[in-house]
Amino acid sequence: MSSAHVTPGSVPGPKLAAHFASLEVQKHAARLGMWLFLATEILLFAGLFACYAAYRFLFPEAWAACSRELDLTMGTINTVVLITSSFTAAMAVHYAKEGKNKMVGHMFVLTLLMAVAFLVIKYFEYKHKFHIGTLPGRYYFYEGIQLPGAPLYFTVYFASTALHGLHVIIGMTVLMFSTVRAYRVGDFSANNYTMVELGSMYWHLVDLVWIFLFPMLYLV
Amino acid sequence: MAIANESHQEEHNMQEHHGAGRYVVIWVVLLVLTLVTVFTGRMHLPDFGLLLALVIASVKGTLVALYFMHLSEHRGANRLVFGVSIVFVVLLIGFTLMDFGTRFRLANPPGSQYSDLQAVDIGANKAEGRQGGHLDEKQKKETHE
């Protein structure tokens, strides 16, 4: 972004950094950087998925019993909410390409509202678990399921949903910047939408992780 | 310059503006697949329940990556990075499971499906289960007497 030179008389848009051959190459590189970052994110969650696989293999009965203890209705609502928020984030990119900045803002506001809804539902799920005692490791005190491996299931449950929740919050922060820019500056156009696109890609990753977490945790 | 051609092609793909209809279709398909996976999940299929759920999740994930994240329009290295990361996820989980699947039985934690030691063997009854060997108050009294 620094050391930029803009050819005079060109349409206002992103600045071309001196070390890129053209704007096309610069955008391509921005996406490559984002994909590399998302790859590290995928591998971060893969560590938890490997934990899940190992302990599911060892304790299938506890896994089945504990997953039935979760609130499937809340989980399903959360999945629908997150998929819909992903859809509105994709629509924001669509409108950014058309230069409709107001609509970009509106779409991201909808996405953010659904993100808040997701976290609120998650809060009630957590609260219930703290109440009945389905907690990780030695904090487990639920009488209903006394199987070896049950506290491990909730270790995996809390670790993965909490890490995912953290990503929801980070994603919301990222999208907030784009929202404010869309409303205040309003300079997104077919020529300049990388910020919206990459922010929305991050949000889709959050959705992607949940798409796998949901059946793994709620439906085994 | 190959990389410049790639960038050009990707730019061309991204600029080609298709209507919002495509996103709506993907969204509806994702919602339908969610309902399908909840429905099949509630049937508690004995052996292939988790496998089926993961297959449906993979289809959903592919749709999100290809169309919402525009992977279908991206070119070259951008596609490679995502593919390679998935390969490494499969390697990580695959080798972990192969390890657990071929272990000496006694190396598995007591109480697990593949261990000869169950809760009773380590001094815990069904009610105390996970406490493993702790005696409750009543039993303590009995041993003292």
Those residues whose C-beta lies under 8 Å from the C-beta of residue B110, and which sit 6 or more positions away, are A148, B117, B118, B119, B121, B122, B132
- Would an 8 Å CB–CB cutoff place B30 in contact with chain A? yes
Alpha helices in chain B (DSSP H): 2-15, 21-42, 49-63, 77-101, 137-144
Residue A15 inside a domain? The answer is no
CB contact under 8 A, B27 and A87: yes
**Which of B131, B45, B121, B111 has the alpha carbon at shortest distance from B53?**
B45
- Domain boundaries of chain B, sorted by first residue: 2-144
Comparing alpha-carbon positions, the chain A residue that sits nearest to B97 is A54
Q: Which residues of B touch A214 (CB under 8 A)?
A: 34, 37, 57
pLDDT tens-place string over residues A74-112: 999 999 999 999 999 999 999 999 999 999 999 999 999
Strand, helix or coil at B78? helix
- Would an 8 Å CB–CB cutoff place B127 in contact with chain A? yes
Spatial separation of the C-alpha atoms in residues A31 and A37, rounded to whole Å: 10
CATH of residue A74's domain is: 1.20.120.80
Spatial separation of the C-alpha atoms in residues B140 and B145, rounded to whole Å: 9
Comparing alpha-carbon positions, the chain A residue that sits nearest to B85 is A39
Interface predicted TM-score of the whole assembly (ipTM), two decimals: 0.88
- Please report how the helices A72-98 and A101-132 are oriented relative to each other, as an axis angle in degrees rounded to 10: 160
Greater confidence (B129 vs A103) lies with A103
pLDDT tens-place string over residues A2-60: 444 444 444 556 788 888 888 888 888 999 999 999 999 999 999 999 999 999 999 99
Supply the pLDDT for residue B144: 52
**Residue A39 is encoded by which pair of tokens?**
């790859």
Residue A105 inside a domain? The answer is yes
CA dihedral A115, A118, A119, A120 (to 10 degrees): 120
Residue A71 inside a domain? The answer is yes
Residue A51 inside a domain? The answer is yes
**Which of B64, B58, B63, B56 has the alpha carbon at shortest distance from B34?**
B56
Between CA B45 and CA B51, with CA B50 as vertex, the angle to 5 degrees is 105
Strand, helix or coil at A192? strand
pLDDT tens-place string over residues B54-111: 999 999 999 999 999 999 888 888 889 999 999 999 999 999 999 998 888 888 887 7
**Test the A interface: residue of B37, B69, B82, B131 with most A CBs within 10 Å:** B69
Stated pTM of the model: 0.87
Residue A187 inside a domain? The answer is yes
Residue A214: domain span: 40-218
Residue A196 inside a domain? The answer is yes
Those residues whose C-beta lies under 8 Å from the C-beta of residue A178, and which sit 6 or more positions away, are A92, A104, A108, A195, A196, A199
